Amino acid sequence: MAIRVKDYTNKQSPLSPGHRLCPGCGAPTAVHQGLMAVDSPLVVVNATGCLEVSTTVYPFSAWRVPWIHTAFENAGAGVSGVEAAYVALKKRGKISEDIKFVTFGGDGGTYDIGLQSLSGALERGHDFTYICYNNQGYMNTGAQRSSATPRGTNATTSPAGSVVPGKLQKAKDLTAIAAAHNIPYVAQTSLYNMTDVAEKVKRAVETPGPAFVNILVPCVLFWGIDPALQQDICKQAVETRFWPVYEVVNGEWKLTYKPRKRVPVEEFLKPQGRYRHLFKGEEGAKMLQQAQADIENDWVKLLQRCGETWTPEE
């Protein structure tokens, strides 16, 4: 489903400028790039989080499409109701248009408190797309750890200190969990490449039945990065294989980008303030080794799932 960005440059984004998200925030970019190539009329369901709170500051809304804010834990259930009502209204001839339903949730509202609600919606088979804009922490409430926060991260509820080097647990593999629901389309991507995000979300939306897209986006404030580095940091996440990009279509796993050269994880971690402590002392060095080991292990597993033998050049 190749798309040409040029074809969409004049298309209005469902999210207008003037919202209150931070400069360099990855969440609005995920919305713009993701929905860029979607041609159908949309309804957006938004879980509580930065995207919700900062795009709807009274008396303004930045959304140009029908939009509903649920609570923190129930975006999956909320969209289920909206989609089911649409199906019923359509059947009775009250709606003639083909409307698509897209849900946005951060990693807190998706990996943690909203997982049950998401799982239920995926299993019931509603025709909708769930997009997780994953910035690896509870950034709206001040950078607490989430189950998407990587090992070794300094977060306010997993603080790095002289004894404990930040979060000790590995991030949950939510994309694989979504794929385990045997739904027609699952994808993982990041803001490293505009067309990849646009193509995957377009495919997700146009696929009948439930679809899930996990997009790694930076939080400028709590990743501690230069706002201008949004795309670069995402690129490093993909090149270091810290965040491999792939899709799972009807159960078939496929790598959608193969990094040519082997790039050490430090290239992704070093520019970020939340990993500053890893570049000091013995404990930090151990955590860096661990981070690289995690990547290698996950890569082997992913290759197996994809039936690939690709290894980046040294």
What does the binding site for other proteins look like in residue numbers (CB under 8 A)? Answer: 48, 53, 69, 71-73, 112-113, 115, 138, 141-142, 144-145, 147, 156-159, 161, 163-164
Residue 223: CB minimum distance to other proteins, A: 17
Strand, helix or coil for residue 240:
coil
Of the candidates 75, 162, 82, the one whose C-alpha atom is nearest the C-alpha of residue 119 is 75
Q: What is the DSSP letter of 266?
A: H
Cβ closest to other proteins, residue 158 vs residue 214:
158
Strand, helix or coil for residue 57:
coil
CA–CA distance, 151 with 149 (Å, rounded to integer): 7
Residue 295: CB minimum distance to other proteins, A: 24
Q: What is the DSSP letter of 13?
A: P
Cβ closest to other proteins, residue 113 vs residue 269:
113
Residue 113: CB minimum distance to other proteins, A: 4
Residue 69: CB minimum distance to other proteins, A: 7
Cβ closest to other proteins, residue 136 vs residue 190:
136
Residue 133: CB minimum distance to other proteins, A: 18
Residue 138: CB minimum distance to other proteins, A: 5
CA–CA distance, 188 with 225 (Å, rounded to integer): 22
User: For residue 148, what are the CA distances in angstroms to 20, 89, 107, 250?
Assistant: 24, 38, 6, 25
Beta-bridge partner residues of 68: 45
Give the contacts of 164 (CB within 8 A, at least 6 positions apart).
158
Cβ closest to other proteins, residue 142 vs residue 307:
142
Residue 164: CB minimum distance to other proteins, A: 7
CA–CA distance, 24 with 62 (Å, rounded to integer): 17
Q: Cα torsion for 72, 146, 157, 152, to the nearest 10°?
A: -170
Cβ closest to other proteins, residue 137 vs residue 244:
137
Of the candidates 242, 139, 133, 256, the one whose C-alpha atom is nearest the C-alpha of residue 187 is 256
Cβ closest to other proteins, residue 79 vs residue 113:
113
Q: What's 99-142 look like in SS3?
A: CEEEEEEEHHHHHHCCHHHHHHHHHHCCCCEEEEEECCCECCCC
CB atoms within 10 A of CB 182: 11
Cβ closest to other proteins, residue 53 vs residue 65:
53
Cβ closest to other proteins, residue 112 vs residue 247:
112
Residue 168: CB minimum distance to other proteins, A: 11
